[in-house]
Amino acid sequence: MMLPLRLFANKKEVAVCFGVLALVFALHVSLIYTQYRSFVGEGRTYVEGELLLSDARVSKNGKPYFALRVKTNAFLLYTVAWKETLHVRPGEQVSVVVITEKLRFLDFLSKRFFAPSFSLHALHVSEEGVAKRLAYSIWAQHESPKMQALYSALFLATPVPKALREDVLYWGVSHLVAISGFHLGVLLALGYGVVRPVYRFFQSRYFPYRNATFDVGVVMLGLAFGYLWLIGFVPSFLRAFVMAVFGFFLLMRHIKLLSFGTLALSVGGILALFPHLVLHIGFWFSVLGVFYIFLYLHHFKERFSAPVHAVLLNVWVFLAMNIPVHYWFPLTSWQQVGSIPLSLVFIGFYPLSGVLHVMGFGGVMDGVLEPFLAWRMEGADVPTPLWMLVGYLGLSLLGVRWRFLAVGAVLLGAVPFLLL
């Protein structure tokens, strides 16, 4: 068997490639800065978009208000409406005047920012695209608002309301609810398993000269891109899709696929094309998740059987991601260990629940799932200091060279639980 080719022939090619990516990134950022200067020029501006979420809350002074998320064609706006009642609902098109006097460039670059606003009004226009009609179909199959929010988040990447977000944090399954590479992997594997036998049946009779791997791969990636467009180019799913396309290209060129160089080049390419992702923590979580998967395969790929790998890899990634995740989300509970078996169960649950929704029986598991999510074990905030995060990431990078450091770094993921 011919060995896979190297991604780069020498260090000069590496320097040129990443130099070009850095130049594209810089040019892209300068273009966005020009847009920023125009956006904040008058101190306030009028925007239109879809109201994604409205959470009724009460300030420290006892004054009622609504925390709002408005999605425009260019960014996601977080703002508030100081009202006792709100006459617009999530899903409606709205207009709002945004005060931009204190808006920073980095916030604008992230395409997700908070800004004060006033004059919020419904536009009363109908823009019910495919995603909206699918959302209505999902909601109609559930009586509970929490279940409606869960499944629309799972399939359409809609915002997760506060109550459901707390359930997800206690169970440690944010990576399952937020659409990411895990979901893409499940969908591509399932789709490939279904489409390939059908394709091979016709290929053997009508076009035996075609490459089945290439043709089915192109079809599956085309469908994945359609899904990416449908859910609004979610950062974590976008990263996974670009890596899948790049990986498919490498596979067809017989270049080594599972390598840290592949990951670095994929991340560099994504950031050059979509520089706002450099400020998205969800994007970096997804990158870290892939890094630790590669780290495991780098050291242990040839040592165990597939069933053992399925268990050990889930434990490995859970522990490896603990310190980075707890730096941003300090809530710690032994209940979060349940995410290890839940990640395995999810491989079957995700496509099954999709099929049930297509058949109109999406709510059959609500009676079990809702109380399961609401169940609580005692937990506490265990903050992770910045020095620990930086040291941990540095140790993880050294783990690429030395296996014992990789194992030691991953085992440090148990520290937040030992501090409970």
Spell out the SS3 assignment of 335-388: HHHHHHHHHHHHHHHHHHHHHHHHHCCCCCCHHHHHHHHHCCCCEEECCCCHHH
Q: Tell me: pLDDT of 331 over 70.
A: yes
Mean pLDDT of 36-57: 88
Q: Which pTM does this prediction carry?
A: 0.85
Whether 2 shows a pLDDT value over 70: the answer reads no
Per-residue pLDDT, 124? 66
Question: 284: helix, coil or strand?
Answer: helix
pLDDT for 239 beyond 80: no
**Closest C-alpha among 206, 214, 156, 144 to residue 183:** 156
H helices then E strands: how many in the chain?
17, 8
State which of 59-63, 169-173, 301-305 shows the largest mean pLDDT: 169-173
pLDDT at residue 125 in the model: 60
Domain segments of the chain: what residues? 42-122
* pLDDT tens readout for residues 305-314: 888 888 899 9
Residues 282 and 265: their CA atoms lie apart, in Å, by: 19
Cα distances from 79 to residues 59, 174, 293, 351, in angstroms, run 14, 24, 37, 35
Confidence class of residue 163 from pLDDT cuts 50, 70 and 90?
confident
* Arithmetic mean of pLDDT, 321-338: 91
pLDDT bucket at 256, cuts 50 / 70 / 90? confident
Confidence of residue 249 (pLDDT cuts 50, 70, 90): confident
**pLDDT, tens digit, for every residue of 335-392?**
999 999 998 899 999 999 999 999 999 999 999 999 999 898 888 888 889 999 999 9
Q: What is the DSSP letter of 7?
A: S
- The average confidence (pLDDT) of the chain is 88
For residue 55, the model assigns a pLDDT of 79
Domain 42-122: homologous superfamily in CATH: Nucleic acid-binding proteins (2.40.50.140)
pLDDT confidence of residue 405: 93
| % residues pLDDT > 70 (the chain) | 97
pLDDT tens digit string along 167-224? Answer: 998 898 888 888 888 899 888 988 888 899 999 888 888 888 888 889 999 999 999 9
pLDDT at 263: 87
pLDDT tens digits along 114-148: 999 888 888 866 556 788 889 889 999 999 989 99
